[in-house]
Structure 1
Amino acid sequence: MQNKNVIQLYNTLNRLSKQMHRFSHKADHKHGLFHMQSKLLQLIAKNEGIIQRDLAKKMDMRPSSMTEALGRLEQLNLILRKRDEKDQRSMHIYLTDKGREIVEDTVRSEEEFMKKFTDIVFREISEEEIEEMLAITSKLCKSLDTLDLKEPKDCSEECCQ
């Protein structure tokens, strides 16, 4: 049986994750975009001309979901999709000028928001405690990375016991 403190820690970290996730998404809504749409535009900006299939892989999305998401961004005149001249099955994705403006503004807004947000969230924690938390959370991430590789099939697997 697991230690009660470990279960309480897990529940507390889960709650903290949800709270941070909820607050961090507020920065993305400035232009009426959802968080995923904002991240998608930023990824396109960093990889101008990226192939739709590669974009889906980087965003960890199904190709059909990516097609739908890009369709919405195209309707908003934020991106252009162009067929590859050599391979008609491939679509290259480009930002429009409007899309580029939104990305620049969003990045600037996110940086300002994250500075204010982290100043508030971590104001009661010393630099030493932050370093300790970083080391511990890095270990937790590493443990979860090994579980991701196993892809458990049912709850008799190690991760669910």
Structure 2
Amino acid sequence: MQKYEELLLALRKVIRAIDLYSKQLNKYAGLTGPQLLIMREISAAEGITASAVAQHITLSPATVSNIIERLEHRELIHRHRSDKDKRRVALYLTEQGQMLLENAPQPLQEHFIEKFCALDDWEQSQLLSSMQRIANMMDAERLDAAPVLEVGSYQTRSKN
């Protein structure tokens, strides 16, 4: 097997692991990875704005706005317009949202982060450099991506 074939196989295994986790998360919690990430941000900083959430999780404001609409429709979050500044809309978890978040599994990346942090600095740097180069080789460096591990078709993700 050529080295590039081995690398592509390893990438497919990573994508498959992320896909299996995403399906498990959706089955047990009824949430997608980005939805879980946004709910965790709202829980951590009650009253946060949608634009601040987008900045923290590195997703576009439009993507975050669509996800927030879906979460609000499911009555997992609610918005509150400021009395002092009508332009400011704060986000809060509902009681139902808080209960769902408490029972939801941890994002896949937390397990990854624990293992990654256990590596020596040089190895962390080597892995980071290699993945950045792979992203560049795949012309993916400008793609909208959150620090949450999730895959799926474009149509599936756009429904978040």
Under a length normalisation based on structure 1, what TM-score does the superposition of the two structures give? 0.64
Query: Are 1:44 and 2:31 counterparts?
Result: no
State the aligned residue count: 132
Query: What aligned pairs does 1:14-93 form with structure 2 within 5 A after superposition?
Result: 14-29=11-26, 30-93=28-91
- Residue 8 of structure 1 aligns with an amino acid whose one-letter code is E
Q: Report if the CA contact (8 A) 1:27-1:110 is conserved.
A: no
What is residue 103 of structure 1 aligned with on the other side? Answer: 101
When the two chains are superposed, the root-mean-square deviation of aligned CA atoms in Å is: 3.6
Residue type matched to 1:140 in 2? L
Matched, 1:8 2:5: yes
Distance 1:18 1:138 in 2: 22
CA distance in 1, matches of 2:141, 2:43: 35
Kindly indicate which of the two structures has a greater share of residues assigned to helix: 1
Change (3 A) 1:67 1:49: same
% identical aligned pairs: 22
Query: In 2, Cα distance between the equivalents of 1:152 and 1:41?
Result: 26
Give, as a single letter, the amino acid of the residue that structure 2 aligns with 1:139: Q
Greater shift in the superposed pair: 29-38 or 94-103: 29-38
Runs (4 or more) in structure 1 with deviation over 3 Å come to 134-138, 142-148
